[in-house]
Amino acid sequence: MDYLYLIISAILVNNIVLMQFLGICPFLGVSNKTSTAIGMSGAVLFVMVLATIMTFLVQKYVLDAFEIGYLQTISYILIIAALVQMVEIILKKVSPPLYQALGIYLPLITTNCAILGVAILVIQKDFDLMKSVVFAVGTSLGFAFALVLFAGIREQMELVKIPKGMKGVPIALIVAGILALAFQGFTGLVKI
């Protein structure tokens, strides 16, 4: 039951994008089309889970063991960058259309602070490996939920008449703010 609460909390209550404001770059950059948002969500899920596992193991068996915790951030960044390169190579071979659709945003996963944030949060919260993986899956599902929801709203906004000065980024930021306010309604739903 703990794992279910952890997933619900990560998706709705403590949504990484809308409540903790991590991962805003891909949230705003890849949310023009739902199909691209789904592809980015899959890539983030894959990288976030693998990065959490790898960084957890490096933290426990290298950084803590040798008392070099001050290298946490740089080692996490290197691990995440290597995983993103791996995802990029796999996508290029397995799904060239998705690779083309993601374009410049795929390297954004390397600098996506949500990935690094989750890796650091699981250590700060003193989760074990299983809870860390569940938290990473829940957080990436929350990221996907917010991204696909926002992409759907942005696609619908293309069909309505919006004043010229509000088109594009201004209306997107307003909608993102309203979504963040809506997600505040989930506060207190689950206590973790």
Rg (CA), the chain: 17
- Look at residue 96 in the predicted model and tell me its pLDDT: 87
Indicate whether 134 pLDDT > 90.
yes
Residue 192 has pLDDT above 70, yes or no: no
Q: pTM value? A: 0.89
- At 64 the pLDDT is 97
Distance CA 126, CA 61 (A): 15
Distances, alpha carbon 139 to alpha carbons 54, 97, 117, in Å: 17, 26, 10
Q: Which residue has the higher pLDDT, 145 or 95?
A: 145
CA pseudo-torsion sign 116, 120, 125, 129: positive
Q: Is the pLDDT of residue 59 over 90?
A: yes
Which residue has tokens 């993601």? Answer: 102
Mean pLDDT of the residues in the chain: 91
For the chain, give the percent of residues with pLDDT over 70: 97
Among the residue ranges 65-74, 83-92, 139-148, 169-178, the one predicted with the least confidence is 83-92
Domain ranges of the chain: 2-184
Q: What is the pLDDT of residue 35?
A: 87
Nearest to 180 by CA among 139, 149, 159, 158: 149
How many Cβ atoms sit within 10 Å of the Cβ of residue 5? Answer: 16
pLDDT at 40: 85
Predicted confidence at residue 105, as pLDDT, reads: 67
